[in-house]
């Protein structure tokens, strides 16, 4: 067992340490979908807020990340186009005509 006190690591809680909630689960598939949508919306808002804070704190890094993302998109678009160009066979050239010998 670890000797680190719980107050030093409040994020490291076990399931049995969490307080019981008095909410009753909603019934039906629509309620489950609604819960999923609410959770996804909350996660998206939290992620957007975190990204916004990171951009405000480190604008030069954000510019570099944006440039890397744009370069990645350009490579993803241009890569298959270049590979498709290489797959085409070269057109066959007619054999050179030999001059008729007079003699």
For residues 42 and 40, give the distance between their C-alpha atoms in angstroms, rounded to a whole number: 5
Separation CA 43–CA 37 (nearest Å): 10
Q: Is the pLDDT of residue 64 over 90?
A: yes
Q: Give the mean pLDDT of 73-94.
A: 78
Question: CA nearest 69: which of 51, 92, 81?
Answer: 51
Q: Can you give the pLDDT at residue 30?
A: 58
CA distance linking residue 71 with residue 52, whole number of Å: 21
pLDDT for the residue numbered 94: 77
- pTM: predicted TM-score of the whole model, two decimal places: 0.39
More confident residue, 97 or 63: 63
Structure tokens at 62: 């954000």
pLDDT attached to residue 92: 77
Confidence at residue 96, expressed as pLDDT on a 0 to 100 scale: 76
| Mean confidence (pLDDT) of the chain | 77
């Amino acid at each position: 067992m670890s000797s680190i006190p719980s107050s030093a690591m409040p994020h490291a809680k076990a399931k049995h340490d969490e307080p019981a909630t008095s909410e009753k689960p909603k019934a039906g598939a629509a309620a489950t979908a609604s819960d999923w949508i609410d959770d996804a919306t909350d996660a998206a808002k939290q992620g957007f807020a975190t990204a916004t804070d990171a951009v405000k704190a480190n604008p030069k890094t954000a510019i570099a990340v944006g440039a890397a993302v744009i370069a990645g998109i350009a490579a993803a678009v241009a890569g298959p186009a270049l590979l498709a160009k290489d797959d085409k066979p070269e057109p066959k050239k007619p054999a050179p005509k030999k001059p008729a010998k007079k003699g």
